[in-house]
Structures are given as C-alpha cells and as structure tokens.
Amino acid sequence: MAIILRIVERHAEDAAFLWTLRDRHASGKTFRLWDLARLDRRLDAHLDGLRIAGEDGWTLCSEALVHGANGEVFAAAVTAFESGRPHRIDTIFDLVADRPDLARGLISALGWTTAEVARRQIGQLLASGSTLFRRAGVAAAAIRRLDPGPVLESSLEDVEDSFLTARALEAVGELGLREMLPLVLVHLASSDEHIRFSAAWSASLLGDKSALPVLGAFALEPGSRAGSACALGLRCLRPRDACQTHQALADCPELSRLAVAAVGTIGDPALVEWLLPCLRVPALARLAGESFALITGIDLGHPAFSADRPDGFVAGPTDDPADEDVTPDPDADLPWPDPAKIEEWWYRFGPEFRVGTRYLLGRPITPENACAILLAGRQHERAAAAIELALETGGSLVEIRAPGFFQQQHTARLLSRRLAVALPT
C-alpha cells in the first residue's frame, strides 16, 4: 500500500509541477501547439492517476494545498470538481476565499474539466454573493467561451469590485459580444486605469475606433500594459497610419523597445529598412530579430541566421550578490540573430514582399493564413494570429491557452471551415 500511495503522491506532485510549467510556456515564445498538447497529455495522465486513486488521490491533493501554489490548487480543483462532492469543492472555495491570489488555479481547472462539470461550477460561481467568486466565474466562462448571461451585464456596473468590472469588460471582447459594445464604451472615461484599459482593449477588439486614443495612451505609459496596448492598437490601424505611429515611437529614444516590437506587430515590409540596424544593437538585437521573423517567417534558431551572444553583454540578474537589479532578461527566450546573414537574406528575398501589405510569418494576413498559424505557430505567434482573426471576422478571440489537445481539434475544424469558404466551388 505504501508503494501505491507513493505513486499517487507522485501523480499529485507532477500534476502541480506540469501545470506550473505549462502556465509559463502557454504565454511564452518557444512552444508550438503540438508542444503544448504533448505537455498537456502528460499532465492529464497524472490527473488520470489521481482520478483512479479516488479518495487517496483527493487526500494527497488536499494535503498538498499547504504549499499555497496555483499548481497544487489546479490539481486539487480538477479532482474536486470532477468528483462532484460538496466537501471537496468547499475546500477549494474556502482556500481561494482566504487566498485570492490562488484563484488562477481554480479558474484554470474549470478550463480543463468537461463542459458539463465546468458549466455546473461556473454557474455556482456566477450566483455567488462574493465578487471574488463572480469574477472567477466570469473569467472561467470567458476562457471556455461561454456567455455568462445576465451576470456579465451586472458585473459591468459593479461598484464594489473594480477587478470584477475590468474582467467583465475583457470577457465582452474575448466573446465577441458586439451587442454589448455601448456598455463597454461608457467605461472609456473611467478614473480607474484597470477598468479604462479593459474597456479600451475590448472596444478596440470589437472594432470601435473611438477606443484607440485611450489604448494609445496606455501604449506610451511605462508599465506592463504598454505592450498589450501597442500590439492591439497598431493592428486596428490601416498600414499607412500604423507606419506613421511607428515613426512617432521611433523618434522617442525611451520607447526604442516598443518601436522595435511595433515593426513585427504592424508587419509592413516598409519598416524593415529601419529595423535592420537594430540587429546590431545588443540591447535590441534579439527583439529586432523577432520582429523580422514575425514579418518574414524565417527561423532565427536555424544556424543560417543565428549568432553567439556578444562578448561582454549582460542582461537580467547577475551572480553578484551586491547587484540589486533582479529584473529578468525580457528576451531570454529569443535567439541571437546574425545581422549580416539576415541582411543578406532580406536583400535577396525582400523584393518579394509588397510594401503596404501586412505580413505575419511570411504570409499576407488573411483569415485563412491566421488559422494556419493558429495550428502551427509558436504561442506568441498564435496570439497575434488570434487577434488578427478576431479583428477580421468579428468572431470571438481564440483561446490559445486552452488544453492543447482540445485546441488541435478546434483549430483544425476552424481551418477546414475557412478553407471551405475560401476555395472556389
């Protein structure tokens, strides 16, 4: 029995660890959909071990909650929700009520379980008197691409919890609920910047140009929202207007990283000549290479285009205990480009790219090409393709963080439908 329990304990440990690993890679720049699907199958195999173990599986998961981490909450929540046993579910809810920072594990579990289980638990959360749980319910419904119903509209008007209002605003955009756009627009003038950003993000995703100045203001402010604001705002502009906006960014030295990233977002080959010199600036080189790859589709990891780290260049935390700067290297996952080889490639193949046409991974941006990237691209490339597809078609935003094996089925069906529409009969 001790050996069996040890195996079950290993299932609980590995499920929590693999969730933490996939949480990082699902928003990273190295994993493709099939990488995510392979990792998720491993994770689900450990969850299967916990399911089969029954009471022992739950006991070990619940004991692991003392670690106070989202990975352990995820594993325990999946086990609890799928069992349907009230005391197990209450254990998860009670923990999250005391530790709101652990709500991510709970929400992620609802994105993993079967549709029937998810609907039941999401309904319970949406009916809660707690704004924390209603927020979790709205978030879980959004990632499952389920309409939360009347709770969504009431959440947009909630005065108790600005985070609930902001999450509801984001859900409107993710779900493509254009009929709710007037309710979103009233929040563009909110004094709460979280609410104001969420309103501008969703309204822009829904195609309302009046939100772009608000989104643009966030792009120019220091902080974590700048990149997201710039990535969406530039995609909503016509290529000519986007290039003019890029020039304004390029004229501000303090916005150099934003300007370099903007080139890949805009996707217009007219900006490549400006980008190429950035490949020779160590602090910008990897990001510039990434923008070049987003336009052209070249593989910077291939020896034909990669180089070694420049001598003496240091980014991110050092081993020096006296160094107080612990800011992580923002480009740690990106390869070092070889400027000469990339310039040689561009001068040979660049004329094949049409100025004024937006490209993503070497293809003009169309719904069909976006679907193909959703199936084969890396996660950050898939995120870009999902936004482009939503802007082009007016549909909901594809959830690229969903379990990989579910995404493979959904994206293949989506691509088949798009090709069926595009091909002549």
**What are the pLDDT digits (tens) for 370-380?**
999 999 999 99
**What are the pLDDT digits (tens) for 300-359?**
999 999 999 988 888 766 555 555 555 788 899 899 999 999 999 999 999 999 999 999
pLDDT score recorded for residue 424: 45
pLDDT score recorded for residue 276: 98
**What are the pLDDT digits (tens) for 128-150?**
999 999 999 999 999 999 999 99
Residue 272's pLDDT band (boundaries 50, 70, 90)? very high
Residue 412's pLDDT band (boundaries 50, 70, 90)? confident
| Predicted confidence (pLDDT) at residue 13 exceeds the cutoff of 60 | yes
pLDDT score recorded for residue 328: 84
Least confident of 34-48, 77-91, 405-419: 405-419
**What are the pLDDT digits (tens) for 252-270?**
999 999 999 999 999 999 9
pLDDT score recorded for residue 352: 96
Across the range 182-208, mean pLDDT stands at 96
pLDDT score recorded for residue 319: 55
Per DSSP (E only), the strands in 105-208 are none
- What is the DSSP annotation of 353-377? SPTT--EETTEE--HHHHHHHHHHS
DSSP 306: B
| Predicted confidence (pLDDT) at residue 366 exceeds the cutoff of 70 | yes
Distance from first CA to last CA of the chain, Å, rounded?
64
Residues 25, 287: Cα–Cα separation, whole Å: 18
Query: For residue 404, what is the enclosing H or E element?
Result: helix 404-422
